[in-house]
Amino acid sequence: MTFSIVARDPRTGMLGVGTSSKALATGAMVPYVRAGVGAIASQSFTNPYLGIDGLTLLEQGLTAARALEKLIDGDRGRELRQVAVVDGDGNTAAYTGSRCIDWAGAVEGGGYVCVGNIITGEEVVKAMASAFASSADQPLPERLLLALEAGQDAGGYRRGRQAAGLVVVDTQEYPVCDLRVDDHPDPLVELRRLYEVYEREMAPYVQGMPRRDDYTPYWDAVLQVRDAIESSLEEEAAAVKES
C-alpha cells in the first residue's frame, strides 16, 4: 500500500530508503537500513521480519537476490508481500506477490529499486527511477526525495496521501538522515520542508558526531559550537534582565 525507493550511492557508499503511503507512520514500518550492509523496503501487508531478517542475511554475505529468495521462501504470506532490496555492493532484487493490489511492481536500475503497490500505474515507478538516475550529482537523501516527488507527480498512490519517510546511513551505525511525516494531508511537501530544515540545522552537526572508532572527531569545532551556544544564552538572559 506504498511506493518506495531503496538505493545505494556508488560515490559514497551511503544506503537509504524513501517511502510514501496512505498509511499512518509508514516511515516507521517500511524502511530497514544498515550501514555497509544494505537497504530494504518491506511493504504491502508488511511483514517487518522481511526487513529485519533480510539485513541479517545481507550481513552474513548473501547477495540481494539470494537474501530475498530465502526471505520469500520462508514467508507463508508471500502472495501479499512486496519487497525491494539493495545490498552493500549495490546489487538489487525485488519481489511482488501475486495477490498484491494493482498496479503493483518494480523498476530496478544501477544500485536502486523503485517499487509500488496500489499505485496509479507503472508510470509511477518509472518516473521515480528517472528522477533518481538523473540526479546522480546530488546527495543521496535529496535523490531519494526527488524520486518520491516524481512518483507522486506521476500519479502516486491510488488511495490518497498520509505519511512519508526518509532514512539514510553512511559509515556509522546511526543514520545521518532520519525524517518522518506520520500523518499529513500532503506528506511529501511536509517531508521536503523537514529536509530543508535538516540541511540547515542537522547536516553540519552530523559531520562532527562520534564515530565507533573515535568518539571525539572535530572536538575543537564541537567545543566552539558549545561555547557559542552558551554565549548566546548568556546574552539572552542579560537582555531579559534589562527589559
Residue 192's region, left for phi above 0, alpha for psi from -120 to 50, else beta, is alpha
Torsion (CA) 193, 194, 196, 199 in degrees, nearest 10: 180
DSSP 8-class letter at 171: S
Whether 118 and 230 share a structural domain: no
Examine the domain organization and report whether 95 and 214 are in the same domain: no
Dump pLDDT digits (tens) for 108-165. 999 999 999 999 999 999 999 999 999 999 999 999 999 999 999 999 989 899 999 9
Cα–Cα dist 41/47, whole Å: 10
Q: For position 31, which CATH number holds?
A: 3.60.20.10
Judgement on whether residues 164 and 74 belong to the same structural domain of the protein = yes
| Pairing assessment for the beta strands 105-109 and 92-96 based on DSSP bridges | unpaired
Reported as a pLDDT band with limits 50, 70 and 90, residue 208 is confident
Q: What is the mean pLDDT of the chain?
A: 96
pLDDT tens string 230-243: 999 999 999 998 87
**Which pLDDT score, from 0 to 100, does residue 222 have?**
86
Q: Based on the domain organization, do 186 and 242 belong to the same domain?
A: no
Q: Where are the alpha helices (DSSP H) in the chain?
A: 26-29, 48-59, 64-73, 122-133, 140-153, 187-201, 203-206, 219-242
Give the mean model confidence (pLDDT) for residues 177-201: 97
* 60/135 Cα distance (integer angstroms): 32
Is the peptide bond prior to 219 cis by the omega test (within 30 degrees of 0)? no
Tally of domains within the chain: 2
Q: Which residues pair with 167 in a beta bridge?
A: 17, 178
Asked if 195 contacts 145 with a C-beta cutoff of 8 angstroms, the reply is: yes
AA identity, residue 99: R
Cα–Cα dist 208/85, whole Å: 30
150 with 93, same domain: the answer is yes
Q: What angle do CA 168, 192, 127 make, to 5 degrees?
A: 80
On the question of pLDDT at 32 being above 90, the answer is yes
Same domain? 184 vs 128:
yes
Q: State whether 147 and 37 are in the same domain.
A: yes
Average pLDDT of the residues in 25-50:
97
Position 242 scores a pLDDT of 86
Span 183-201, average pLDDT: 97
Instruction: DSSP for 123-163, please give it.
Output: HHHHHHHHHHHTTTTS-HHHHHHHHHHHHHHTT-BTT---E
| Rounded distance between C-alpha atoms, residue 163 and residue 167, angstroms | 14
Asked whether residue 70 falls in the same domain as residue 170, the answer is: yes
* Domain co-membership, 74 together with 162: yes
Rounded to 5°, angle at Cα 182 from 180 and 184: 110
pLDDT in tens, 166-183: 999 999 999 999 999 999
Looking at the fold, whether 145 and 221 belong to one and the same domain comes out as no
Q: Are residues 55 and 140 in the same domain?
A: yes
With 80 as the cut, is the pLDDT of residue 42 above it? Answer: yes
Owning domain of residue 220: 210-243
Residue 1 has pLDDT above 80, yes or no: no
- pLDDT value, residue 230: 96
The per-residue pLDDT for 90 is 98
Q: 137 and 232: one domain?
A: no
